[in-house]
Amino acid sequence: MQRARRRACHDAGVKILVVEDEDAIAEPLAEGLRREGFEVERVATGADALAAEEPDLVLLDLRLPDVDGITVCRELRARSSVPIIVVTAKGEEVDRVVGLEVGADDYVVKPFGLRELVARIRAVLRRAQPQADGGGEESLDVGGLHIDLRAHRATLDDAELQLTAKEFDLLALLARDPGAVISRERILAEVWNTTWYGSAKTIDVHVASIRKKLGDPGWIETVRGIGLRLRSE
């Protein structure tokens, strides 16, 4: 109980925007998140989600009455790096992949437990925030690529890259040892905190997005059957 209180205190002030049109789902979800210490704003349409003041994290349903959630996710990502967790009843792999392709940081399928969702929220928020401790590495440089670990920013030839939280973590993992092959199992464990290999397609989606943002697919090489590596020059 004491640990739960400490966590709730830590989450105080973290604003979550819940985008869900079904009252029967949205109201108990918002209440549960408030009990965990989060500040919650709930909207029921895509238009209201896009008009809302930017929160610290968005929980986004894909089935909305006006604008589909994929469009909302794409528009939010085009203007902001706010973490987005897609929450939907759509469980098909294609929907997960599309959501990740347009910038979602994580994907939770209904029905879900509040404890699982809160754990996902905290994990995404940790990845999205700069490291406050003063120890360890502060930046990584590979050719014209500069990764500032403390500020959670990446630039290529002095132009900032608009990376999602997971894209940043994946690129930083590869940049810590350029030229070395990093296995998919290690990537899943360190970036997604999972050992479930069924999530491996998620890696490919994020790599494709990073390659596009870097402007040259040669930055990240796929070593068939083993993993990925960042070119060393």
Strands 182-183 and 153-156 come out as: unpaired
Q: What pLDDT does residue 5 have?
A: 47
Higher local confidence (pLDDT), 107 or 15: 15
The residue out of 108, 128, 148 marking a domain boundary is 128
Which of 149, 129, 146 lies closest to 138 in space, CA to CA? Answer: 149
Q: What pLDDT does residue 12 have?
A: 61
The CATH number of residue 196's host domain is 1.10.10.10
Q: Are residues 106 and 143 in the same domain?
A: no
Q: What pLDDT does residue 18 have?
A: 97
The residue out of 79, 101, 128 marking a domain boundary is 128
Q: Are residues 20 and 88 in the same domain?
A: yes
Q: Are residues 103 and 22 in the same domain?
A: yes
Q: Are residues 24 and 106 in the same domain?
A: yes
Q: Are residues 90 and 155 in the same domain?
A: no
pLDDT band at 1 (very low <50, low <70, confident <90, very high): very low
pLDDT band at 3 (very low <50, low <70, confident <90, very high): very low
60-83 pLDDT, tens per residue? 998 899 998 889 998 998 888 899
- On the question of a cis peptide bond just before residue 83, with omega within 30 degrees of 0, the verdict is no
88-97 pLDDT, tens per residue? 776 666 666 7
Q: What pLDDT does residue 113 have?
A: 87
User: Residue 111: CB partners within 8 Å, gap ≥ 6?
Assistant: none
φ/ψ of 94, rounded to 5, equals -60, -35
Is the Cβ–Cβ distance between 98 and 209 less than 8 Å? Answer: no
Q: Which of 42-51, 67-76, 143-152, 184-193 reaches the highest mean pLDDT?
A: 42-51
Q: What pLDDT does residue 161 have?
A: 94
Q: What pLDDT does residue 190 have?
A: 82
d(CA 42, CA 29): 10
Q: What pLDDT does residue 94 have?
A: 65
Q: Are residues 124 and 10 in the same domain?
A: yes
**Identity of the amino acid at 125:** L
Q: Are residues 99 and 144 in the same domain?
A: no
Q: Total structural domains in the chain?
A: 2
Q: What pLDDT does residue 192 have?
A: 76
Share of the chain above pLDDT 90, in %: 46
Q: What pLDDT does residue 4 have?
A: 45
d(CA 122, CA 192): 13
Higher local confidence (pLDDT), 96 or 216: 216
Range of the domain at 166: 139-230
